[in-house]
Structure formats: C-alpha cells, structure tokens
C-alpha cells in the first residue's frame, strides 16, 4: 500500500513543479553498503513529468508499478506512465490544491484529498468520479486504503480521522483522539489497526473496527509529518519536525531506535553554507521491509531536498541523494525506484548520476 504524506512548506519555488521517477538503487548494492558514511550518488533519472503547473504535493504508484498518480497545488491529479512519462488521465474534481493521493490496493480506484475539505474517489483508468466524501470540515492531509480496498481512512485539519466505505461514503467510525489537526494516517497491512499522527506530536494506534485506542506514542516533540508501517505490521516508522524518525513497536509503544539523519555530512555539498535542517517530512518503508526512506531538507546555498535511505533493522545509513526541494516520495512496488514530487527552480544542486 502506497503511503502518501503531505505538507505545505513555504518555499521559494516558481510556478512549475514536476514529478520525478528515479532509481533507488538495486538491492544488492544497497545490502553491500552497510557503513553510516553517506553517498552523494543520485539515482538515474528515468522520467520527468512536467504537466503540472504548481508544486506536486502527493504521489502514489499503481499496485502493478506501471503508473504514477501525482497530486498538485494546481488542483489536479494526473496519472502518467512510469516508463514513458506519457499522460494517461487528469482528474479535475477538486476546487483547491490536492494534498493527498492514494491508490487502492486492487488498482481500480484513486482517492484524493484536498484543501477544499473533500476526499474524492475516482476510476484510475478513466478519471470518472465515483464518490465525493464531505464528512470532514477542513483540509484533508492524509489518506490510506484498507488492504481489501473496501474502506478508506482520512486525516484532516478538523482533528478527526474518519473511516468510511470507499464506494458508498458511509461513515464507519470517527476517531477523535487528537487535540490538533491529524497530519498523517496509515492502515496496517494486516488490516486490523490504523495509526494516526497529529500536529501536537502525538501518535495513536487504534482498532480499525471499533476506533478504540490501543497505544498512544508521545516520544516526538513536534508535529508528526508522516507514518509508515513495516510490511509485517510489527513496527511503525514516524517522521517529525523534531528532526527525528522513530521506529517503534505498535503493540507496546516501545521505541526500537531513533534515526537522526545525515547530521553535518551534508555540509560537503557546499561547506561555506551547508547548514543541516534535518526536519523529517516523509518516511516510507520499502515493501520488502529491508529499508526506510525519508525526505528531509537542508540549506546548501539555496534550499535543497535530501532523500535518505537507511537499513530498517539497524538504522545505519545506506545512502543519501541531494535534490531540489522534495515534497513527497513513494517506493515503487518492486522497491527499485522512487516517485517523488519536487520544485524545479533550485538549479544549484545537480544530478550526480
């Protein structure tokens, strides 16, 4: 299940934004690099998609890995071919910027949330609208499908996470365990639990059927930006503006380790101006369970984005990629590529591979 994480960072970017498809590196080379020393090598850019007119804030892969859906501040969601970059369909049902996109596990539908407080479900191949859900009253920040594609959970700025039936809009349960906007939600691969994070830094694990709180995780000290389950549902990685990503046990709330990123190594990009910011904006667990990717940022003469990949078991850095500001990221189903959304005005950091 693709994880879609969203944020609205104030950036010095122009009107044009693009979604980039790149290699994350083959599994063998990833496994061979086990030291925490970062690599500046960038994955080969396979395809750039430039049809959006504003920033790409959400991105998701089709389950078969052939298509990518990108949601933008230009109010559209566009589906395009991952291999060729060819446009497939554009969905224009939203009246404000798109903040979240999630592809159903069965591949038939895409759900998109926006600043217009709606979540819309539509046919992935045709763009025909199936449902508009209006149960929440503020920006929809995050969307996740149940593993059987029958239900959706959405987190919004109104402080609620709601579970509802994907094709009827019937409300199943409303979770009100947060005292602030719900900034991230993720349905466990086993289908039994949902995790939600808030602007207040708290994370709640709750029963997907009853909405009963099972675990409250309070180790972050700032806004939770992103959540991702391990494929076996035995662990969660959470990203935060407190400059940490934490891997922890959702059954007990016990922290396994805290990831602090690349620290000052990024200063080698531009030693006179390399000031690590290290806030974590996106976290994503690979489908094979071996690696975790995160999006963070840094000032390197201009604003840069950094995609960091680390070993999920040990927390050891595998490599990092310097890019323009990155707003969203997702692993391909086979874990060989990333799809990401980024601005295009920051030419001072170039592709290195």
Helices (H), the chain: 27-32
pTM recorded for the entire structure: 0.86
Token pair 């994480």 in the structure block, residue: 5
Phi-psi region of 345 (alpha: psi -120 to 50; beta: other; left: phi over 0): alpha
pLDDT above 90 covers a percentage of the chain that reads: 61
Strand, coil or helix: what is 265?
helix
- Kindly report which listed range (127-131, 208-212, 254-258, 326-330) carries the lowest average pLDDT score: 326-330
d(CA 314, CA 300): 28
- Residue 66 is given by DSSP the state S
* Angle (nearest 5°) at CA 79 between 78 and 82: 130
According to DSSP, the residues that pair with 276 across neighbouring strands are 298
The strands making up 245-248's β-sheet, listed across from edge to edge, are 224-229, 236-240, 245-248, 255-259
Q: pLDDT by residue (tens digit) across 169-185?
A: 999 999 989 999 999 99
Q: pLDDT by residue (tens digit) across 97-137?
A: 999 999 999 999 999 999 999 999 999 999 999 999 999 99
Phi-psi region of 65 (alpha: psi -120 to 50; beta: other; left: phi over 0): left
d(CA 254, CA 297): 28
- Residue 44 is given by DSSP the state P
Q: Which domains does the chain have, with CATH numbers?
A: 17-343 (2.130.10.10)
- Kindly report which listed range (9-13, 61-65, 234-238, 259-263) carries the lowest average pLDDT score: 9-13
Token pair 């500046």 in the structure block, residue: 40
pLDDT value of position 39: 46
Q: What is the mean pLDDT of residues 328-344?
A: 83
Residue 194, CA distances (Å) to 82, 110, 214 in order: 29, 19, 10
Contact 101, 120 (CB under 8 A): no
d(CA 73, CA 56): 7
| Tokens, residue 340 | 């990401």
- Kindly report which listed range (98-107, 219-228, 242-251, 292-301) carries the lowest average pLDDT score: 292-301
For 316, residues 6+ apart whose C-beta sits below 8 A from its C-beta are 34, 35, 36, 310
Tell whether the model's pLDDT for residue 299 goes beyond 70: no
Phi, psi values for residue 267, rounded to 5°: -60, -20
pLDDT value of position 24: 43
Give the confidence band of 165 by pLDDT, cuts at 50, 70, 90.
very high
Give the confidence band of 9 by pLDDT, cuts at 50, 70, 90.
very low
């Amino acid at each position: 299940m693709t994880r879609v994480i969203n944020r609205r960072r104030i950036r010095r970017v122009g009107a044009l934004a693009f979604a980039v498809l790149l290699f994350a590196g083959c599994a063998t080379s990833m496994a061979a690099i086990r030291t925490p020393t970062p690599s500046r090598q960038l994955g080969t850019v396979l395809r750039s998609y430039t049809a959006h007119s504003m920033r790409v804030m959400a991105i998701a892969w089709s389950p078969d890995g052939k298509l990518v859906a990108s949601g933008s501040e230009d109010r559209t969601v566009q589906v395009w071919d991952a291999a060729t970059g060819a446009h497939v369909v554009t969905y224009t049902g939203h009246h404000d910027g798109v903040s979240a996109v999630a592809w159903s596990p069965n591949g038939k539908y895409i759900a998109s949330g926006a600043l217009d407080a709606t979540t819309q479900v539509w046919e992935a191949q045709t763009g025909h609208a199936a449902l508009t859900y209006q149960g929440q009253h503020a920006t929809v920040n995050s969307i996740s499908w149940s593993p059987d594609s029958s239900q959706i959970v959405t987190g919004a700025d109104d402080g609620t996470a709601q579970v509802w039936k994907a094709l009827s809009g019937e409300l199943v349960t409303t979770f009100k365990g947060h005292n602030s906007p719900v900034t991230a939600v993720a349905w466990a691969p086993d289908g039994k639990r949902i995790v939600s994070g808030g602007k207040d830094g708290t994370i709640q694990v709750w029963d997907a059927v009853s909405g009963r709180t099972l675990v409250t995780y309070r180790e972050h000290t700032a806004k939770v930006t992103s959540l991702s389950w391990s494929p076996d549902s035995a662990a969660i990685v959470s990203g935060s503006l407190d400059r940490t990503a934490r891997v922890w046990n959702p059954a007990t709330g016990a922290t396994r380790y805290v990831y602090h990123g690349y620290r000052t190594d990024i200063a080698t990009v531009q030693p006179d101006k390399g000031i690590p910011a290290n806030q974590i904006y996106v976290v994503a667990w690979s489908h094979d369970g071996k690696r975790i990717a995160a999006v963070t940022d840094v000032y390197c003469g201009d604003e840069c984005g950094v995609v960091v990949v680390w070993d999920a078991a040990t927390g050891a850095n595998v490599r990092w990629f310097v890019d323009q500001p990155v707003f969203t990221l997702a692993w391909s189903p086979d874990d060989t590529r990333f799809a990401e959304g980024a601005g295009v005005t920051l030419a001072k950091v170039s592709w290195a591979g």
